[in-house]
Structure formats: structure tokens, C-alpha cells
Amino acid sequence: FTRKIQLERSLFTALEDQSLYLAYQPIIELQTQAVKGFEALLRWNHTALGSIPPDEFIPLAEEASLITPINNWVIIEACEQLAKWQQTIDPKLTMAINISPHQFQSDSFIRTLQHIVTERLVSPSSITLEMTENIAILQTQRTVERMHLIKSLGFRLSIDDFGTGYSSLQYLSAFPIDELKIDKVFIDGLATNDHALLDSIIQLGHNLELNLVAEGVETEHALNYLKTTSCQHMQGFIFSEPLSVQDVEKRFLTP
Ligand code: C2E
Ligand code: CA
Ligand code: CA
């Protein structure tokens, strides 16, 4: 009770006092081990309670209707950071940004995307918007139209946590998506030689000509297995945890 109220209260000032910030996890090309880009992950360093995981504070922000300014801040901040790193590290770098189902439906989200395009903050083709399969529950004409609108602005679309949510596969042909992120549970299965589902998902993605990213790769064993498949990218602690801006620059900015 007290923790929840305390958190909710401090969320109101979190954007101004800069206790909300983004961490960036590298996404790696499996065959070459080259850095393809980063995923922006929201962090909150609470003055009294320390770091609060996004799974805890994002639902709170949604309840307190603070999520819209936070979401829009995340998109702009991640795009500005990418623009800098394209100049200083590699012009081909990409950025993945998480979008919640509510956010996807909101008009301010579309306005933020339009702002990026008109102000030329960064090329939209280097931005991937990640959404979970739950978006498919709303498989209405409106959802499909909205996805086409986002695509027409030039952004890429990805399905996050693929294989863990909605069970129908029909949406894969209805939605104009570019990528599947294979959930960590399928990678974890490799530890017990359980790769039937992983193989099938990779085959499915390959047949649909989608880019594939394996998430939560922690072991050499999993990494070596993935290299034998047609999955193109991976992300996980074996290569790097989410990093601060300073740590990204320490590691990838060659002097
Ligand atoms: P997600 O999008 O599936 O993000 C991946 C999560 O897995 C991250 O947790 C990351 O730190 C963690 N991870 C990465 N590699 C490994 C690994 O090898 N092993 C393990 N055990 N974990 C790994 P994080 O940062 O706590 O984020 C949790 C979730 O919060 C995200 O899941 C995403 O759904 C949500 N989230 C984070 N940032 C944002 C945001 O800016 N906006 C929205 N709407 N949601 C966000
Ligand atoms: Ca994600
Ligand atoms: Ca995920």
C-alpha cells in the first residue's frame, strides 16, 4: 500500500527531476557479432527506493495517466540518442523502442512519430517499434489501418515476446510487420535440448521473410545453436546487459 502510493507520487516529478532515463541493450548480428543497433529500455532510479523495474512502474504510470508524457519522452529521447550515435559510432545503427497497446491506440503517439519525420530527427527506417502480440487481440480494421499509417511514415514494426501471447497466427499475414522477436522461453529450452518450437518459429519467420531476433541469449550453448539457424540477430546478457549512455560510448565509440 505505502510503496505503491509513494511510487505513484514520485512518478509525477520523475520526468522533471531526471530520475527516469533510458538504458540501451545492443542487438547483435549472429554471424558477424557486429552491433546492429540498440533497444531502448526505460529505467527509474527512485531517490529513496533505488531502481524500480519497468514491469512495476509502467502499470502505475498507466493508472495515474502519466504514461502519455513518459511514452512520448521515451520515443524522442531514443531517437535523439540514435541520431548522435549514427554520427559518432556508425551511420547504419538502428534503435528499437517498446510501444504499449494503449500507446499504440493513442493519437499523441502518431503525432510524436509525425514530429520525428517532419523535424528529421532521424530516418524512420532506422527505428523499429516493438509491440507484443496482445495488439492482435484488437485485430480490427482500425488496428490494421494504424499499422499501415505507421509503415507509410517509414517506421519498422516488430512483434515482441513472439510465441507467448495471443495464439492465433492469422494476424501475421494481416499485419504489415517486419520482424519477430523470439521470446526468451524458447531460447531457454535449448538448455534441455528442447528446440522443436524454436526451430518452427525460425522456419515460420523465414518463410514470411521477416527479420528474426532471438531474445535473452545467456549461454554459449544457445549462441552456438542459433548460429546454425537462419535467425539473423540476437540480444542477451551473453553479449551485453542494457547499458548507460556512458557505457555504450566507452564500449563502442572508438577514439
Ligand atoms: P522486453 O521488451 O521483452 O525487454 C527485454 C527485457 O529482458 C529487459 O528487461 C532486459 O533487460 C531483459 N533481458 C535482456 N537480455 C536478457 C538476458 O539475457 N537474460 C535475462 N534474464 N533478461 C534479459 P527490462 O528492462 O526489465 O524490461 C522489462 C519490460 O518492460 C520490457 O520487456 C518491456 O515490455 C517493458 N519496457 C521497458 N521499457 C519500456 C518502454 O520504454 N516502454 C514500454 N511501453 N515498455 C517498456
Ligand atoms: Ca522489447
Ligand atoms: Ca521481449
Percent of the chain at pLDDT exceeding 70: 98
Which tens digit of pLDDT belongs to each residue from 189-215?
999 999 999 999 999 999 999 999 999
254 domain residue, yes or no: no
Tell me, yes or no, whether 122 lies in a domain. yes
What was the pLDDT predicted at 169?
85
User: Count of CB atoms within 10 A of residue 141's CB?
Assistant: 7
Sequence-ordered strand ranges (E) for the chain = 20-29, 35-46, 50-52, 94-98, 127-132, 156-162, 179-182, 211-214, 233-234
Mean per-residue pLDDT, 109-137: 94
The confidence band for 19, taking pLDDT boundaries of 50, 70 and 90, is very high
Within 10 angstroms of residue 231's Cβ, the number of other Cβ atoms is 23
Mean pLDDT of the 18-39 span: 97
Nearest ligand 1 atom to the CA of 130 is: 2
Contact 20, 10 (CB under 8 A): no
Q: Is the predicted pLDDT of residue 140 greater than 90, yes or no?
A: no
7 sits in the region (left: phi over 0; alpha: psi -120 to 50; else beta) called: alpha
The two beta strands, 50-52 and 94-98, are: unpaired
Nearest of 193, 196, 195, 139 to residue 165 by alpha carbon: 139
Whether residue 125 has pLDDT greater than 90: yes
Average pLDDT rounded to a whole number, residues 236-248: 98
**Residue 255 falls within a domain, yes or no?**
no
Residue 241's pLDDT band, with cuts at 50, 70 and 90, is very high
pLDDT score of 189 = 95
**Considering Cα of 104, then 105, then 109, then 114, what sign does the dihedral take?**
positive
Mean pLDDT of the chain: 94
Whether 161 maps to a domain, the answer reads yes
Amino acid 213 reads V
> CATH code at 88?
3.20.20.450
In a domain, 164, yes or no: yes
67 CA: nearest ligand 1 atom: 44
Question: In the beta sheet, which residues pair with residue 97?
Answer: 40, 129
Alpha carbon nearest to ligand 1 atom 12, residue: 216
Please write the tens of the pLDDT for every residue from 35-51: 999 999 999 999 888 99
What is the model's pLDDT at position 161? 95
| CA 161 – ligand 1 centroid, Å | 10
Q: How far is the CA of 95 from the centre of ligand 3 (A)?
A: 14
Number of structural domains, the chain? 1
What are the tens digits of pLDDT across the range 47-96? 888 999 999 999 999 888 888 899 999 999 999 999 999 999 999 999 99
Domain that holds residue 195: 3-249
Give me the sign of the Cα torsion angle 21, 26, 185, 232. positive
- Identity of the amino acid at 204: L
48 Cα–ligand 1 center, Å = 23
pLDDT of residue 1: 64
Residue at 193 is within a domain: yes
Within a domain: 213: yes
What pLDDT does 216 receive?
A: 98
Q: Is the CB of 53 under 6 A from ligand 1?
A: yes
Q: Report how far apart, in Å, the C-alpha atoms of 240 and of each of 126, 194, 230, 237, 254 are.
A: 21, 25, 22, 5, 17
Answer whether residue 28 is part of any domain: yes
Ligand 2 geometric centre to CA of 255 (Å): 30
